[in-house]
Structure 1
Amino acid sequence: MDEESKEYQLDQYTQNKLAEEKRLIEEEKELKIKWRQEIEQNKEIQAHLDKYKKISVEAFITHYVNHKYQVYRYGDMYIKLAEDERTKWIDLAHEQLKCIQQKQLFDLQCQWRAEQIKLNGVEKCIDFKKWEDEVLNCPFLKPISESDIELYQEFLSETGLNFANEFWDREWQDYDEIKGGYDEDDEESTIPEWYQFHYNHTGTASLLSLPDIRGEKEEFYRGIWFDNQRKEIEERQKDQPIKLTDNRPYLSASDRAMMSFLFSNFEDQLTQKRDQYYRMAIEDYNDTSSYEDMFRELAEANEDVPIEGHFDIKEAVEMAYNSYYAKKTAEHLPLAYEQYLLTRKMGFVIKGERDYFGDLDDI
């Protein structure tokens, strides 16, 4: 049986892969022959190479042609990776523009709840949650200014933000949580780092002391509504038979206590040992995988990344990672700001990703 007939006994995927490999080898051969001839026929190049021993020139040309093929084959991929890297920092900086606007929106929420101001597009407290997701399109916010950018760059350079856990992925307009953290004044403050930094530099922390007049009114009327709902349900259920309910507690599918109990009491010793070492391996992996990812990213950075001495290598890596991210984000913040200004000038709308509150008006 000849080679061609053998190939057609292979599955289609393997046939396609084999054909592609043959095409690439044939292309590589043709290109290398072509490039070597171009070098040999280029008098200007030959004049430069004639200054060296012929045997060394042959080796150099071979290496040059091989390198040129690698550039031809993979150069576009690395160009894209570099462009993606730059885009990553601009996208990250763009997220920080949202943080700047979230602070302005929260300050307005404090004033609105105290009934010091009125805002078009805000009729109830939950409307601030709507605008949280569309903060760059919020019509009653002032545009971001250059001074805002400069203050935020200062914030990035001075505050040890935890970029590994995406410090900005939070509920920026959660008034009760943030106000509660301010009122309790405990060590585990729920005030976002950016808000606290802004308060310290602008002297506007007094906004958190304003009374929540509107929130208390809404809570009062909500209580009336819920009472009426409860009474209506009770009336409807008066003549209905009592349903039996299962009052036993809910067991989570991944309940660790129950898992351990069953393994300890109903499995043989070998299975118990396997379970012990399996759990240890998973916990060790979960404990170190994030640091490995951070270190890999720092090692692949196209610049030197300083790392401070620390008794714990994991802490040192995380500190260096956060410092590097803060630096790169601050560097690209002006570029994101330029895009923001252009977007506003062109009248483009930047859509949010979530819409949790579409039916609240009906309620």
Structure 2
Amino acid sequence: MSDTSPDEAKPAANEPRTEADILADPRLRELLAGYQPWSQDSFLKSYAHVLSDLHYQGERYEASLEYLLRQHDQEAYRQIWAIQHQKLFDLECQWRAGLVTVPGARLTADFEDWHEAIAACDVIAPISPEELALFDAFLAQLTDPEDLEPDDLCHDFWRYRSYPDLHGEDDADDTLTPWTDYWDMRRGTAYLRTLPNRRGELERHYEQAAYAERRRQRAEAVATPPDPRPNAPSYGPEFDTLVREFLRRFEPAAKLRQFETKKELLAYEASDNAGDLEVALERLQEAGQAVIPIEAHADWRQAVIQAGNRYYLDQLRAALPRVYEDYCQRISLGISLTPPREKRRYRKCSHFEADEPIIREGRRALGEPDDLNF
């Protein structure tokens, strides 16, 4: 008789059942009584393999399926914050023009800080069902996911405000996002973009006064003859030209050939088709067994890219109701909202903390009160 007790024969809690344990289990044998005896051991051995696989990989299978079923939820949740960015920009345009007062707004820099932490911004109302429906309609008419970049909206708004003289020039990279254009067209808010930037101009006036005072107080440096030689390039076409000259003069011929080969590969990888096609194929592979229609096109790559884009945008739209329900539930429960994958900007201080000293310095230089009441 074995000295091992029944409890000791059982596998540890963190280990799967052994094949021997399964073969000796009378409960399993009873369920297999209706099958040929010779096949029962074969089944039980396969069953032991299944149990072992599920023990070690079961949670991963569940997580993988959850990802496939909800893989677009996180991105859809990130994208809906474009609504809040837009509403904050609308409010900022009015505040800069002096048409409204905004609690907590002391300088234009406050809006920059709110854009960068949009989930914590409490000067705008939560997303409404009507606003979500408008965003869904925007997604429905899009053809290129590249038009969706809510993390960059605050930069686009800043650039648009900072370079008003460029507005309307064909070559100027100052246009607002497709989402802003769509929002303005549907809500009649385009006039907000033409309001005067009185507050921004005042802040710029004080900044210039501060810098002028610094220049006045700064002792003139000892004049030294300027060096007429240009700086050696460290990137760009001039750098490449100089590298080629060095390789031609000082290195084996193979090095120049390899350098040109590298440039050709980089040019290929940077081409729209190369990168977009890779992304489209990845998106379509993640679609699983879903049938994705591909429209006819003279270039098969463009057909695949368009199909991948449409599938991705459709999946974002399908995820909107789920992520909005979660968004509303968090608000009702008082749970803080943090957009996933929000770009982290590591700063020593906020925009307000960076701008306040120079503006107050300018006011002092002009003999005005040392405060922000202007």
Match for 2:232: what amino acid?
Answer: L
How many angstroms does 1:31 deviate by? 2.5
1:114 to 82, 89, 97: 97
- Structure 2 distance, partners of 1:162, 1:138, is 26
Name 2:181's counterpart in structure 1.
Answer: 196
- Structure 1 distance, partners of 2:331, 2:311, is 30
The verdict on how the C-alpha distance between 1:37 and 1:329 changes in structure 2, with shifts beyond 3 A counting, is: farther
Name 2:293's counterpart in structure 1.
Answer: 306
Unaligned runs of 5+ in 1: 1-26
Match for 1:156: what amino acid?
Answer: L
- Structure 2 distance, partners of 1:60, 1:361, is 76
How many angstroms does 1:265 deviate by? 3.7
Name 1:362's counterpart in structure 2.
Answer: 357
The verdict on how the C-alpha distance between 1:102 and 1:173 changes in structure 2, with shifts beyond 3 A counting, is: farther
The verdict on how the C-alpha distance between 1:41 and 1:344 changes in structure 2, with shifts beyond 3 A counting, is: closer
Calculate the aligned-residue CA RMSD, in Å: 3.3
**Contact 2:98 2:198 (8 Å CA) reproduced:** yes
1:123 to 97, 106, 112: 106
Q: Is 1:263 aligned to 2:247, yes or no?
A: yes
How many angstroms does 1:38 deviate by? 4.2
Unaligned runs of 5+ in 2: 1-14, 359-374
Deviations 1:139-182 (A, max 9, x none): 2201211111111111111112324x863331436446336599
Helix, strand or coil for the counterpart of 1:311?
A: coil
**Contact 1:125 1:215 (8 Å CA) reproduced:** yes
Name 2:121's counterpart in structure 1.
Answer: 138
**Contact 2:280 2:307 (8 Å CA) reproduced:** no
- Structure 2 distance, partners of 1:314, 1:101, is 36
Name 1:251's counterpart in structure 2.
Answer: 232
TM-score, structure 2 normalization = 0.74
Q: Is 1:272 aligned to 2:256, yes or no?
A: yes
Counting matched residue pairs gives 327
Name 2:367's counterpart in structure 1.
Answer: none
Q: Is 1:221 aligned to 2:206, yes or no?
A: yes
How many angstroms does 1:116 deviate by? 0.9
Match for 1:299: what amino acid?
Answer: Q
Name 2:8's counterpart in structure 1.
Answer: none
Helix, strand or coil for the counterpart of 1:361?
A: helix
The verdict on how the C-alpha distance between 1:185 and 1:300 changes in structure 2, with shifts beyond 3 A counting, is: same
Helix, strand or coil for the counterpart of 2:152?
A: coil
Deviations 1:264-312 (A, max 9, x none): 3433333322333343344445553663344134213333333333333
1:328 to 286, 302, 315: 315
Name 2:369's counterpart in structure 1.
Answer: none
How many angstroms does 1:110 deviate by? 1.3
User: Superposed, which structure 2 residues align to 1:90-101 within 5 Å?
Assistant: 90-101=73-84
- Structure 2 distance, partners of 1:40, 1:349, is 51
How many angstroms does 1:129 deviate by? 0.8
Match for 2:264: what amino acid?
Answer: M
Helix, strand or coil for the counterpart of 1:111?
A: helix
1:209 to 194, 208, 229: 194
The verdict on how the C-alpha distance between 1:56 and 1:94 changes in structure 2, with shifts beyond 3 A counting, is: same
The verdict on how the C-alpha distance between 1:181 and 1:97 changes in structure 2, with shifts beyond 3 A counting, is: farther
The verdict on how the C-alpha distance between 1:93 and 1:210 changes in structure 2, with shifts beyond 3 A counting, is: same
- Structure 2 distance, partners of 1:198, 1:39, is 69
TM-score, structure 1 normalization = 0.76
Helix, strand or coil for the counterpart of 1:101?
A: helix
Match for 1:32: what amino acid?
Answer: E
- Structure 2 distance, partners of 1:124, 1:68, is 63
Name 2:85's counterpart in structure 1.
Answer: 102
How many angstroms does 1:127 deviate by? 1.9
**Contact 1:93 1:330 (8 Å CA) reproduced:** yes
**Contact 1:178 1:190 (8 Å CA) reproduced:** yes
